[in-house]
Structure 1
Amino acid sequence: MTAGPHSQHRLGIALVVAAAVAWSTAPFFTRLLPFDSWTILFWRGLFGGGLIAAILVVMQGRAGLRDLTGMGRNGWLVASLSTLGMVCFIPALQLTSVSNVAIIIATGPFVAAALARIRLREAARWQTMLASLVALCGVAIIVGSTRASSDILGIALACLMTVAIAAMTVTVRRHKDTPMVAAAALSNLLGSVVSIPFAGGIASVTAADLIIFAMFGFFQVALGLTLFMLGSRLLPSGQATLIGTLETPLMPFWVWLAFQEVPSSRALVGGALVMGAIIADIVGDARTQRKLG
């Protein structure tokens, strides 16, 4: 009788790991597109949201269409929080250093665990908190060579993004019956709408660019966000956010693979810490689950 919950837990881990892998391809696609950030956000969101909606309708028919058109308050809340996180990320990178943004985002597991404690009475495993701290140190090493900035607005936006994503994770966990795939589609489309006033190159894309945008929207945004929303329903909020930090060390890997840019020693050491912390938490959690079973 206990195989069901344990199996779902393992599925949640697999889904969130896959989401982190999908998210980590962002630098690869961005390198292929000579446009401003808001134009990229518009087109990738349009393709990502459109593709999710199309797949949902094709696979579920009228039920999928009902999910898209009749999404309840919880679905709108999840989509809005996701959109807020995406929209804050771009100007945060423009207004402060990458190191500041990366370090703040790496505190996500702690924020998610705190919100889950308040909203769900969900106690975080001390092993997950320790692994989150190690992962935070790994991220600090990766971006430690970047020149710091004291710009308050950029830091504030990065903090807002971190809280928004953590709140989205907790909301997904609390309302498991919400149509999360439809919420992922809506969040992408909302991101496109918000970016219109700031995007300067929407009309200057070529057919080749549109193909790259379609791949970007599907693999990095649509697939990543959908997998994370589905997986985070099955995991404690702090653990889901911790596994999501796997995105950070994987980013330079794709750039190295495609553009032969060798990662720095900091990236290698920090990445090893992040990946080691996540693997240790997953293995320790699996042992705990077996003992409980």
Structure 2
Amino acid sequence: MSSIADVDAARRKAIALVVAAAIAWSTAPFFTRLLHYDSWTILFWRGIFGGGAIIALMLLTQSRDGLKDLAAMGRSGWLVAGLSTLGMVCFIPALQLTSVSNVAIIIATGPFATAALAWFWLGEVPRRRTVLASFVALCGVVIIVGGPRPTADILGIALACLMTVAIAAMTVVIRRHRDTPMVAAAALSNLLGCVVSIPLAGGITTVTLADVVTFAMFGFFQVALGLTLFVLGSRHLPSGQAALIATLETPLMPFWVWLAFHEIPAASAFGGGVLVMGAVIADILGDLRAQR
């Protein structure tokens, strides 16, 4: 009985960690609004501070063992780092080549892509409740962003699809290799993103001291905290459920902008946000009820 109770406690903790990760990720528009640089410059500085913050957290919580984790990642750790970097690098040009609406809707299909990969690779059969909740969440995202535009660029859509598949694959790899120190891979992915962005960034050397402070907060709260919490939580949850909970990021994004800049979200944002949050909460409550 104690082992069952331990598993249930670990599952509840994992849900809380992924919810917290979604909250951290949702602050991206808030920090981006404060910075007036090209996307690649933002990616560079955010990655520097994000990767540095994750390494600092590893050293603070694990002392020298944190450095050992960097050397003990193995192929699975490098695979997670590569997939995370691919997702970050595809996201920026996708936003430049097609509408934000299209990118948001494609990202919202993440739970389905993740569940399909988990079923194919791990034999993890998705639960009907999670699949239904994912579909409701997808409908909510469609309402929030207002639907795709007919003039969308094919290359931008392709990059958004590639990013969604990369993040889905990353989630499944974390689940498959749950004993591998994946937090170190999260740090490495940020540093790899910095290297990739250097040739394309146009304002790396023009940032002010105030902007450096903003970049540091961006890197710590949105990147380091969000990615670390997601890595720690998703390894103990079915892949489809972890991806579904992460969709909480979408309805929370306009909340921070409203709170800081007093920009009132459209009525569609409220309606779609209720659907997304309702679907995620319903799946979590159903999961907890099943545990009891």
Please report the TM-score for the alignment, with normalisation by the length of structure 2: 0.97
Question: Aligned AA for 2:29?
Answer: P
Structure 2 CA distance, aligned partners of 1:150 and 1:47?
A: 33
Instruction: Choose from 258, 265, 268 the match for 1:256.
Output: 258
Matching residue's letter, 2:12: R
Superposed displacement of residue 146, structure 1 = 6.8
- After TM superposition, give the deviation of residue 71 of structure 1 in Å: 2.3
Q: Can you give the 5+ residue segments of structure 1 that lack an aligned partner in the other structure?
A: none
Counterpart in the other structure of 1:196 = 198
Q: Tell me whether 1:238 sits opposite 2:240 in the alignment.
A: yes
Which residue, 258, 266, 272 being the options, matches 2:268?
266
Name the CA distance, whole Å, in 2 between partners of 1:33 and 1:131: 35
Q: CA offsets per residue over residues 98-119 of structure 1, 9 Å max, x none?
A: 1111111100000000000011
Residues 100, 149 of structure 1: 8 Å contact kept? no
Partner of 1:120: 122
**Alignment coverage as a number of residue pairs:** 290
Give the structure 1 partner of residue 176 of structure 2: 174
Letter in 2 for 1:89: F
Q: Tell me the secondary structure at the aligned position of residue 197 of structure 1.
A: coil
Root-mean-square deviation (CA, aligned residues, Å) is 1.0
SS in 1 for 2:73: coil
Aligned with 1:12 (options 7, 11, 14): 14
Q: Is 2:77–2:185's contact at 8 Å kept on the other side of the alignment?
A: yes
Aligned to 1:208: 210
Counterpart pick for 1:228 among 230, 250, 271: 230
Of 96, 101, 112, the residue aligned with 1:94 is 96
Report Cα offsets for 1:5-39 as digits up to 9, x if no partner: 11111011000000000000000000100101100
TM-score normalised according to structure 1 size = 0.97
Task: Report SS of the residue matched to 2:236.
Answer: coil
Counting only pairs closer than 5 Å after superposition, residues 137-152 of structure 1 correspond to structure 2 as 137-144=139-146, 147-152=149-154
Contact 2:23 / 2:252 at 8 angstroms: preserved in 1?
Answer: yes
CA contact (8 A) 2:102 2:149 kept: no
Distance 1:149 1:236 in 2: 37
Where in structure 2 are there 5+ consecutive unaligned residues?
Answer: none
* Cα distance in 2 between the residues matched to 1:13 and 1:27: 24
Secondary structure (helix, strand or coil) at the match of 2:271 reads helix
Report the secondary structure of 1:67's partner residue: helix
Q: Please give the alpha-carbon distance, in whole angstroms, between the structure 2 residues aligned to 1:55 and 1:224.
A: 13
Structure 1 range deviating more: 50-59 or 201-210: 50-59
Q: Could you tell me how far apart the structure 1 residues matched to 2:72 and 2:176 are?
A: 20
Counterpart check, 1:155 vs 2:157: yes
